[in-house]
Copies of this chain bind each other. A is one copy, B any other.
Amino acid sequence: MIKIKSLTLSILVFFFAFSNCLAQQTRWFTLEELIPGGVDFYTFYPRHTTQYQWHGDQLVQLRNDSVWISDNPMKQTEKVVFTFSDIEDIIANGEDIYHLQFPLSADSPVQFFSRSGSGFYDIKKKQPLSFFTYPDKSENHDISVESQSLAYNISNNLYILDKNGKTTAISSEENKGIVYGQAVHRNEFGITKGTFWSPTGNKLAFYRMDETMVTDYPLVDTSTRIAEVRNIKYPMAGMTSHEVTVGIYDISTGKTIYLQAGDPKDRYFTNIGWSPNEKHLFLAELNRDQNQMKLLMFNATTGELEKLLFEEQHPKYVEPENPVLFVPKRTDQFIWQSKRDGHNHLYLYDVSGKLLKQLTSGNWDVTEVIGFDEKGNNLFFASTNPTPMDRHIYKLNLKNGKSTKLTTVSGIHNGTMSQSGKYLLDRFSSHNNPGMMYCLNTNNNKLTELTSIKNPYSDYLVPTVNSGTIKAADSITDLHYRFVKPADFDPAKKYPVVIYVYGGPHSQMVQNSWRYGSGGWEFYMAQKGYLVFVMDNRGTSNRGLDFENVTFRKLGIEESLDQMEGVKFLRSLPYVDHNRLGIHGWSYGGFMTINMLLRYPDVFKVGVAGGPVIDWKYYEVMYGERYMDTPQQNASGYEETSLLNKADKLKGRLLIIHGDNDPTVVWQNSIQFLDACIAAGTHPDYFIYPGHGHNMIGHDRVHLHEHITRYFDDFME
């Protein structure tokens, strides 16, 4: 659900570079420095001054407005290739180019981006190949490098602009409830977009979504002279959902066909992928109950279903998130990611649907397939092996199935392969390293450092962060936490503690990244004398299927038991003031915050919940039914997890914060909770961020954190 945005912010924070050296630590952090949107945030925001990309096996460096290339990336014998202004002068439309994207293939042109469009540039011939001016009001620009065509939306319709400047309307639908070429199924199942170019760019697969049967949910814009309603389509758990079909437009024939996938009711079509020869389109079909997945192969010319390759089932749910990934040079073999053995692993299939072999296995997850070498002999992936706190990069020999660990230092490794697979560019951070990049020769494991992040906070009083594990409520599972303490922490004193919680699926708050992922508001609170405790309970990600799906049909219960183990741990510490425990979280974490306050009313003195789900019946079909089934199927589970039924249990101080235009966790949730509290005679506090959606962005985010902080200051005494 919301974790995507939340984690994005967390990831930003990972890269904060706070000082831990001894000299000159005199300055205090302000929220304007710590919070994204703050006026001083970007001044202090640490970045690598150079961006690195691969072009063949050459290492390309984008520095300010010039491009440098190293023929031998291990030696950094770099040279200027051209400057941004070289291109700007040639395309002569008066605009700055703000980004260049080099292709991995050394033979392909460079793509450049300006405010009004994007184009291709031949660096050898030093001439532009094409430029696409984004049409007025166009969105979701998706360019095929191969055919140099631009797919885009205007409102609910889909268009293609080719390199000759010809525009083709793929759809011309007047009913705004029918949408072409946009992400469907509320971006679940790994869906992030609605257009899928074929390998040569001659065909475009796209989603068509009919939402006309979905209830309108009203959002009100109060910033206009008189308030105005803007309806969104929001299918709530158990209610009628939208219907999706998949079309393919053929540029050469100008015709569109639709996959003959049958009745689109109550089914999800996801993980769209092309065969290398463009003859077939693969997709995963999921039933509404989300406990059965079929991998299907369609004829991309006729739309006929040619083969059901295989099925996956699970008593709780299956959740395919990655399309078929064909092995280079082998048009009949692809990689499939599945959690079928309890962890996310890689499987090699042929196009008949025959499993050739399980490529990885073990008590850990593959978190990302980084790529192949160009011959298709080796695959590179990141994983949680040997610890979910780290991400290491492995080289997998597809012939013998043997994996070799390429990275050695404990921490988060984020890799990009060169074309041949000979070189790995590694963006690395760990709890005591704010960030560095190095290049590794995958043949001999030699490495050379490219750059490292400087610490902009060397003169600040910096809180300390440590990590550790406690046992979950099942007494078996290890749970990881981070623990933030003031710079002048004195174990002889008693401190108030704020637990920061998310706790939902698709999240991992604690990793071995810079300061274990802490920073931002946590540092601000530590600076004010609070301890901050963050722990990933069961139900969160990257720990395998059983760890995650233990919460099935009863969201918030196991999670709470685990968080209470965190409370027990905190209470075992002599420096923790038992009477001053607070809790804060957003979205799923907002749900968890209120949930904890109501389930354990004598434990928490103060809670602050943002954008909270209050009753899963108000949440949407895709995410909601995966974890909760429908209200009809699981009445007791909805009853048991609803916070509306527990409004009378509120005892501590609770501040609820919501954006009045939240399209993710609709406003109804928190408003109806207020209503339940009023009926029950309990007294939460409340705040609105007008015009904001699920998360507060821009400078208002600073105000938000002042507001949250003030509430703890008001009532934690």
Q: Which residues of A contact B (CB under 8 A)?
A: 215, 217-218, 220, 222-223, 225-229, 234, 236, 239, 617, 660, 666-668, 671-672, 674-675, 678-679, 681, 683, 685-691, 700, 703, 706-707, 710, 714
Contact = CB atoms under 8 A, between A and B. Distances in A.
B229 A236 contact: no
A687 B686 contact: yes
Nearest to A657: B686
Contacts of A707: 683
A706 B683 contact: yes
A226 B222 contact: no
20 contacts: A215-B226, A217-B226, A217-B227, A218-B218, A218-B229, A222-B672, A222-B675, A223-B672, A226-B236, A226-B239, A227-B666, A229-B229, A660-B671, A672-B690, A674-B687, A681-B706, A683-B710, A686-B686, A686-B687, A714-B714
Contacts of A672: 222-223, 690
Nearest to A231: B229
Nearest to A669: B222
Task: Describe A's contact surface by its main secondary structure.
Answer: mixed
A345 to B, nearest CB: 40
Contacts of A226: 215, 217, 234, 236, 239, 668
Most chain B Cβ neighbours within 10 Å, of A674, A687, A690, A714: A690
A249 to B, nearest CB: 35
Nearest to A682: B703
A714 B606 CA distance: 14
Given A217-B227, A223-B675, 5 more contacts: A222-B668, A225-B617, A226-B236, A227-B667, A681-B703
A671 B703 contact: no
Nearest to A685: B685
B690 A675 contact: yes
Most chain B Cβ neighbours within 10 Å, of A217, A218, A674: A218
Most chain B Cβ neighbours within 10 Å, of A227, A229, A683, A687: A227
Given A218-B220, A686-B688, A678 B666 contact: no
A236 B226 CA distance: 8
A218 B228 contact: yes
Contacts of A688: 671, 674, 686
Given A226-B239, A236-B225, A691 B675 contact: yes
A215 B683 CA distance: 36
A222 B218 CA distance: 10
Contacts of A691: 675
Contact of A678 (B234, B667, B679, B703): B703
A227 B668 contact: yes
A384 B668 CA distance: 49
A240 to B, nearest CB: 11
B687 A685 contact: yes
Contacts of A690: 671-672, 674-675, 678
Most chain B Cβ neighbours within 10 Å, of A672, A678, A688, A690: A678
Given A218-B218, A671-B660, A689 B683 contact: no
A667 B223 CA distance: 11
A442 to B, nearest CB: 51
A700 B676 CA distance: 11
Contacts of A666: 227
A605 B671 CA distance: 29
A229 B221 CA distance: 13
Contacts of A234: 226
Nearest to A702: B681
Contacts of A681: 703, 706
A239 B687 CA distance: 31
Contacts of A683: 703, 706-707, 710
A672 B667 CA distance: 17
A228 B239 CA distance: 15
A10 to B, nearest CB: 23
Most chain B Cβ neighbours within 10 Å, of A617, A672, A685, A707: A685
A226 B675 CA distance: 15
Nearest to A617: B225
A407 to B, nearest CB: 44
Contacts of A679: 700
A319 to B, nearest CB: 26
A703 B647 CA distance: 14
A659 to B, nearest CB: 11
Contacts of A228: 218
Contacts of A674: 687-690
A690 B679 CA distance: 11
